[in-house]
């Protein structure tokens, strides 16, 4: 931890020392570095900074601030970064409710926003904007893949639950879009909820044959441990958010064998990914999570655009971003017309490698998948 | 709704209530005896859970982990009482709130500095894992049953401690007249440290017990703290009996409201509207309960004069 902070301080110092050069791109990263969702923001930051460091590019300056998962703080930070720091690009936000508070105001002020995680449906459809790029996924995507997987696995009666916030609503909508079976029950939980005894009792009483859940971060740890202890023996399906590398160790055996869907995994076979996983382990001493891969891709997209165009020339810079001319750790990566990814989404399974819990790829769930809102975007 | 689901939810409500009691007991003692609002009580829950996770990782023993949570949190409580809290007894509530809020930030960032931001692993021991079948065919996790039993035993123990022992007499005397008991030769500042450490130890125990079924992470105690304040307002400040009754009332109301209200609205609404109206009302139900209690008994169910 200490070493990491020293390195961060040193890299900031190096960045500050080169501030005088021309054509610098100033990036404001607002992400969650404290509180319950901190592991997600830290992974995004670490992935992003790794790509910046690898590039050796001195023309990028990154200012990192902690939003504490609070929309009002994220808005203040964005205002500060745009108005007094004069950043060119904002990025970093983990949570969709924070993205909804920050992104529209950012793009309206003529700044670019590159989302390394949150992809609320409102910003993919009618609210799309030429200066807003999502590098991760539209929120529904991984859930659509989960629905497609559940159908192909022959599950016919799912109980589904998610927290009550924009991404949670997108999650259930996404699952239902591709899932062919019946819904045994549908629940919205509180964001940040830690005790799922009541939900588990309802799952037990519902007569479902499977459970789909979207509970990112600490919520997923609690749910999985309590599910394993409840004696309910139904197959679980979910997006990768509850099975990411950073929380699996805290879940332990309770997650073993569960199928989950992701656009990325550490064993995805391409050169960029192999290099990323190796460099990340060497730099931070832990395996990367999917959030880290998204942060890494976001930085590489930005660096690819910087190599082609000057950020002061917004149209040229936008075209350069749109071209997505970088080696993504996901393999093929292109943007759809609403500037959200068109990509393959895979099914993974939680396994134990030695002492470490991790995921392995077991197949593809959806190929070249775009999102459901692209038609609503007039761009 | 089936009978089994109803009973299971009732048990869940009881378990939630018992957990709240472990937090609220310390809070109500500190508030009642010393007149101190301690916002940092939630941090002591976190300290207990992290102590338990560390010891469990090192030794693999759950019982040692539980012991560590109580000792660790009580020690942390005693230290902050002597260093910070002691200076706040004579100040007004605003100063207390400010200082103890600062303690939350110090504890959270300190824990992050030492343990990092990623959640720690703490699991249920094998001999308490899995469900048991209760009479009537109800399957219920053994661990949650254990929490209920342990919580009720501790409630009984605290009750005896306060009502039947010498230290209990001193605590009650300190509550009603602190100058007089000091004049009678009781070392009041040692008594205060002891009461504070006792409350902290109980919070630490709560942290270790919920840490095993939830996640051990920075800031985990804060959501419980708000409900614990509701509990002591309902139960009456300073009353252990009030804290127990209040905790179970809040726990059962919260859990049953979450399932009964949507079911009720489903009688005359479609599913998704019933779900959202019902759960919106359910989150309000404990505050409505608190308002009702305060209208009928302004100093809480078992509170003295306000």
Select from B215, B278, B284 the residue whose CB has the most chain A CBs within 10 Å, as the one to mutate to test that interface. Answer: B215
Chain B interface includes A186 (CB < 8 A): yes
Looking at residues A319-345, what average pLDDT do you find?
Answer: 94
Residue among A190, A205, A225 minimizing CB distance to B5 = A205
Q: What is the pLDDT of residue B306?
A: 42
Q: pLDDT at residue A36 above 80?
A: no
A253 CB neighbours in chain B (<8 A) are: 123
B108 CB neighbours in chain A (<8 A) are: 34
Chain A residue with minimal CA distance to B217?
A: A36
Residue B144 neighbours by CB distance under 10 Å: 28
Q: pLDDT at residue B296 above 90?
A: yes
Residue A123 and residue A238 in one domain: no
Residue A299 and residue A365 in one domain: no
Q: What is the pLDDT of residue A11?
A: 56
Residue among A205, A226, A250 minimizing CB distance to B119 = A250
Q: What is the pLDDT of residues A71-91, one digit of tens each?
A: 999 999 999 999 999 999 999
Residue B245: left (phi > 0), alpha (psi -120 to 50), or beta? alpha
Distance CA A57, CA B130 (A): 54
Provide the pLDDT confidence category of residue A21 given band limits of 50, 70 and 90. very low
* A313-338 b/e (C-beta count within 10 Å ≥ 16 → b): ebeebbebbeebebbbbbbebebbeb
Q: pLDDT at residue A16 above 60?
A: no
Chain B residue with minimal CA distance to A253?
A: B123
Q: What is the domain-level CATH number for residue A185?
A: 3.40.50.2300
Residue B121 is classified by DSSP as P
Looking at residues A286-300, what average pLDDT do you find?
Answer: 96
ipTM tops 0.95? no
User: Do A33 and B255 count as a contact with CB atoms less than 8 A apart?
Assistant: no
Distance CA A193, CA A120 (A): 21
Tokens encoding A91: 């990025």
User: Do B16 and A222 count as a contact with CB atoms less than 8 A apart?
Assistant: no
Chain A residue with minimal CA distance to B19?
A: A195
Residue A71 and residue A150 in one domain: no
Chain B residue with minimal CA distance to A199?
A: B259
CA distance B235 to chain A (A): 23
A230 CB neighbours in chain B (<8 A) are: 131, 139, 141
Q: pLDDT at residue A172 above 70?
A: yes
Looking at residues B209-224, what average pLDDT do you find?
Answer: 88
Structural domain for A234, as ranges: 140-262+344-376
Provide the pLDDT confidence category of residue B154 given band limits of 50, 70 and 90. very high
Residue A246 and residue A291 in one domain: no
- Residue identified by tokens 């590398």 is A245
Q: pLDDT at residue A253 above 90?
A: no
Residue A12 and residue A131 in one domain: yes
Q: pLDDT at residue A339 above 60?
A: yes
Q: pLDDT at residue A10 above 60?
A: no
Q: What is the pLDDT of residue A154?
A: 93
Q: What is the pLDDT of residue A332?
A: 86
Q: pLDDT at residue A14 above 80?
A: no
Residue among B215, B259, B283 minimizing CB distance to A222 = B215
User: Do B118 and A201 count as a contact with CB atoms less than 8 A apart?
Assistant: no
With a pLDDT cut of 70, the percent of chain B lying above it is: 98
Residue B163 neighbours by CB distance under 10 Å: 12
Looking at residues A172-196, what average pLDDT do you find?
Answer: 90
Residue A210 and residue A293 in one domain: no
Residue A215 is classified by DSSP as -
Looking at residues A289-310, what average pLDDT do you find?
Answer: 95
Looking at residues B81-87, what average pLDDT do you find?
Answer: 92
Q: Count Cβ–Cβ pairs < 8 Å, chain A vs chain B.
A: 119
Q: What is the pLDDT of residues A205-231, one digit of tens each?
A: 889 999 999 998 788 888 998 998 888
Q: What is the pLDDT of residue A20?
A: 39
Q: What angle do CA A261, A205, B274 make, to 5 degrees?
A: 85
Q: What is the pLDDT of residue A118?
A: 92
Q: Which tops the pLDDT comparison, A19 or A235?
A: A235
Q: How many domains is chain A partitioned into structurally?
A: 2
Distance CA A75, CA A77 (A): 5
User: Do B255 and A246 count as a contact with CB atoms less than 8 A apart?
Assistant: no
């Amino acid at each position: 931890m200490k070493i990491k902070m020293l390195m961060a301080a040193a890299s900031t110092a190096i960045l500050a020392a080169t501030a005088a050069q021309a054509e610098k791109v100033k990036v404001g990263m607002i992400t969650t570095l404290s509180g319950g969702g901190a592991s997600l923001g830290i992974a995004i930051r670490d992935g992003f900074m790794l790509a910046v460091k690898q590039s050796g590019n001195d023309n990028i300056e990154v200012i990192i601030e902690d939003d504490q998962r609070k929309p009002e703080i994220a808005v203040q930070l964005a205002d500060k970064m745009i108005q007094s720091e004069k950043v060119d690009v904002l990025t970093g936000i983990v949570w969709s409710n924070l993205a909804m508070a920050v992104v529209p105001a950012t793009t309206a002020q003529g700044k670019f926003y590159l989302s390394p995680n949150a992809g609320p449906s409102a910003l993919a459809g009618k609210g799309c904007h030429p200066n807003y790029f999502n590098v991760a996924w539209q929120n529904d995507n991984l859930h659509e893949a989960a629905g497609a997987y559940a159908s192909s696995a022959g599950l016919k009666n799912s109980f589904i639950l998610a927290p009550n916030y924009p991404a949670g609503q997108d999650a259930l909508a996404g699952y239902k879009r591709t899932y062919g079976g019946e819904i045994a029950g549908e629940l919205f939980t509180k964001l940040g909820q830690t005790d799922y005894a009541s939900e588990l009792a309802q799952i037990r009483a519902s007569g479902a044959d499977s459970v789909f859940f979207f509970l990112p971060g600490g919520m997923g740890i609690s749910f999985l441990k309590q599910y394993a202890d409840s004696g309910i023996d139904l197959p679980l399906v979910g997006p990768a958010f509850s099975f990411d590398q950073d929380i699996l160790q805290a879940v332990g055996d309770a997650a073993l064998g569960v199928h989950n869907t992701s656009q990325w995994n550490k064993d995805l076979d391409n050169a960029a990914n192999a290099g990323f996983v190796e460099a990340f382990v060497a730099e931070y001493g832990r395996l990367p999570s999917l959030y880290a891969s998204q942060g890494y891709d976001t930085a590489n997209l930005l660096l690819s655009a910087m190599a082609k165009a000057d950020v002061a020339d917004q149209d040229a810079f936008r075209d350069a971003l749109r071209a997505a001319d970088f080696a993504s750790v996901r393999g093929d990566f292109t943007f759809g017309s609403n500037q959200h990814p068109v990509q393959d989404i895979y099914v993974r399974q939680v396994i134990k490698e030695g002492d470490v819990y991790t995921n392995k790829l077991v197949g593809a769930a959806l190929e070249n998948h775009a999102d459901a809102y692209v038609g609503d975007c007039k761009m | 709704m089936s009978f089994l689901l109803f009973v299971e939810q009732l048990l869940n409500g009881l378990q939630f209530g018992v957990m709240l009691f472990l937090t609220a007991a310390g809070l109500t003692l500190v508030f009642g005896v010393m007149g101190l609002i301690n916002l940092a009580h939630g941090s002591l829950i976190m300290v207990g859970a992290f102590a338990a996770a560390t010891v469990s990782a090192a030794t693999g023993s759950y019982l040692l982990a539980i012991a560590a949570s109580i000792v660790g949190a009580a020690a942390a409580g005693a230290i902050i009482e002597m260093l910070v809290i002691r200076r706040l007894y004579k100040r007004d509530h605003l100063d207390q709130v400010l200082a103890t809020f600062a303690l939350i930030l110090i504890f959270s960032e300190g824990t992050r500095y030492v343990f990092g931001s990623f959640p720690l692993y703490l699991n249920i021991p094998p001999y308490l894992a899995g469900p048991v079948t209760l009479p009537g065919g109800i399957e219920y996790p053994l661990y949650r049953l254990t929490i209920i039993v342990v919580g009720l035993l501790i409630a009984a123990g605290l009750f005896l401690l306060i009502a039947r022992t010498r230290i209990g007499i001193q605590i009650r005397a300190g509550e009603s007249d602190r100058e007089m008991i000091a004049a009678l030769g009781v070392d009041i500042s040692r008594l205060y440290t002891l009461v504070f450490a006792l409350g902290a130890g109980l919070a630490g125990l709560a942290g270790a017990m919920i840490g095993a079924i939830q996640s051990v992470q920075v800031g985990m105690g804060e959501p419980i703290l708000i409900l614990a304040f509701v509990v002591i307002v309902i139960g009456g400040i300073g009353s252990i009996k009030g804290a127990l009754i209040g905790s179970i009332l809040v726990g059962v109301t919260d859990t049953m409201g979450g399932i009964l209200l949507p079911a009720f609205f489903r009688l005359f609404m479609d599913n998704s509207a019933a779900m959202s109206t019902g759960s919106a009302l359910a989150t309000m139900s404990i505050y409505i309960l608190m308002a009702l209690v305060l209208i009928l008994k302004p100093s809480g169910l078992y509170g003295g004069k306000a």
